[in-house]
Amino acid sequence: MINVFANGAGVRYQKYGATFEHLASWGFVAIGNDDANSASAKSSSITLDYILSLNSNEESIFFNKLDTANVGISGHSQGGVGAINAVTEFDNSNVFTSIYTASTTSIELANALEWNYDVTKISIPYFMVAGTGKADAETIAPLDSMVKNYMNLNSDIKSVMARRKKESQSVHRKNIAMVAEQLFMKKGIENTSMNDISKEAGYSKATLYVYFKDKEELVSVLVLESMQKLHDYMNHALESSSNTKECYEKICNALVEYQEEYPFYFGMVLKTINIDFETTHFLPEEKETFLVGERINELLYTFLKTGIENREIRSNIEILPTIFSFWGMLSGVILLAANKEEYITQHLKKSKKEFLLYGFDMLYNSLAVEGRG
């Protein structure tokens, strides 16, 4: 089976690598080219003649191996126009036995660009689809244009029209954020561009900016997510503790577990968080991050307050400064253990776990009532 592929405007064939590989995995010989004017279908017609010539060329690896009775053509966007013209306007048009198009340029836009086509001339099975992204749905291939093309097809041919159910904005934002997170972890935030993210996520750069106005907004979303995860870990640790020491140990263990499972997030929660929401510009996620952080502080406040009331924590400490110091000391010990494990093992003669327990005990003893540590 043969499939000729017509590219979209400004889209080089490398962009369709996954499509070509998928077709090849099903036994198709897929062939295409880069054509700035693929709508004319001249290149597709020439490509068809070329691949057929290889079937009759004794020196070709395709000699007598191609199924010339089953030849399809696929086209994307401008290439969709080209695919229609390839099967209707050329001397070799009758060689094609099926056609597939994705987001064919609407007849109105195509006419304005002088990319004329006529679906009423199609006489072979036709499968048409279109995307639901902003560019496709509003400009290139609106639903009403797709339906119009479908209704104008010859009723004698087999035809199918399909359109993916539109996904919510939150789904796209989540997909993009997941890709950004992986790139940030691999390359660092500073070394990752919006262009890198758009390529990896499979969105055009223009579409990416529909969902996130800039990299700062993407980072703020991930910081918020990291803070929410940390809150969940802390809240779970404090749910079932019988005394202050046990509670403290569960907090420490929860933080270690959190750092090991989400090292990227652990680093992010220690970064600067905006706290001025009156005089400065801020993103909604920044304010939510601050509020989640305050809820975490409230958990620690309750922990320390209860410890003081139970006479297990010294009563002469200032609770709020202690909470801030608590964070700094615990996170410092945890990061040291994660980043300097080899040094700790060789020079301190302690395992990572032993070093963590030693550091945690030192901090608790500095807070505990004498004799209650």
Three-state secondary structure string covering 32-64: ECCCCCHHHCHHHHHHHHHHHHHHCCCCCCCCC
Q: Give 279's pLDDT tier (boundaries 50, 70, 90).
A: low
Which residues partner with 161 through β-bridges?
128
372 is a domain residue: no
Q: Which residue has the higher pLDDT, 118 or 266?
A: 118
What angle do the packed helices 319-339 and 284-309 form, to 10 degrees? 110
Q: What is the DSSP letter of 266?
A: H
pLDDT, tens digit (0-9, with 9 covering 90-100), for 151-188: 889 888 998 888 766 667 778 888 888 888 888 888 88
- 99 with 237, same domain? no
- 258 with 150, same domain? no
pTM equals 0.52
User: Strands 29-32 and 2-6, how do they pair?
Assistant: parallel
Of 141, 163, 185, the residue at which a domain comes to its end is 163
User: pLDDT at residue 192 above 70?
Assistant: yes
Of 212, 239, 271, the residue at which a domain comes to its end is 212
- 205 with 230, same domain? no
Q: Give 47's pLDDT tier (boundaries 50, 70, 90).
A: very high
Q: What DSSP letter does each residue of 81-118 carry, written as one string? A: HHHHHHTTSSTTGGG--EEEEESPPPHHHHHHTT----
CA distances 349 to 19, 337, 341, 344, 354, Å, are 55, 13, 11, 6, 9
Cα 72 to Cα 302: distance, rounded to the nearest angstrom: 69
- 112 with 148, same domain? yes
Strands of the 2-6 sheet, one edge to the other? 29-32, 2-6, 71-76, 98-102, 126-130, 159-163
Q: Which of 152, 148, 96 is nearest to 124 (CA)?
A: 96
When mean pLDDT is compared across 65-69, 165-169, 330-334, the lowest value belongs to: 165-169
- 129 with 260, same domain? no
- 34 with 136, same domain? yes
Domain range for residue 52?
2-163
260 is a domain residue: yes
Q: What is the DSSP letter of 180?
A: H
Q: What is the CATH number of the domain that holds 206?
A: 1.10.10.60
Kindly give, in sequence order, each residue whose CB lies less than 8 Å from that of residue 332, ignoring residues fewer than 6 positions away.
none
When mean pLDDT is compared across 38-42, 126-130, 169-173, 306-310, the lowest value belongs to: 169-173
When mean pLDDT is compared across 2-11, 25-34, 157-166, the lowest value belongs to: 157-166
Query: Both tokens of residue 130?
Result: 């279109």
Domain count, the chain: 3
- 159 with 175, same domain? no
pLDDT, tens digit (0-9, with 9 covering 90-100), for 233-244: 888 888 766 788
- 317 with 246, same domain? yes
Of 212, 229, 248, the residue at which a domain comes to its end is 212
- 235 with 290, same domain? yes
Q: Give 372's pLDDT tier (boundaries 50, 70, 90).
A: low
pLDDT, tens digit (0-9, with 9 covering 90-100), for 82-132: 999 999 999 999 999 999 999 999 989 999 999 999 999 999 999 999 887
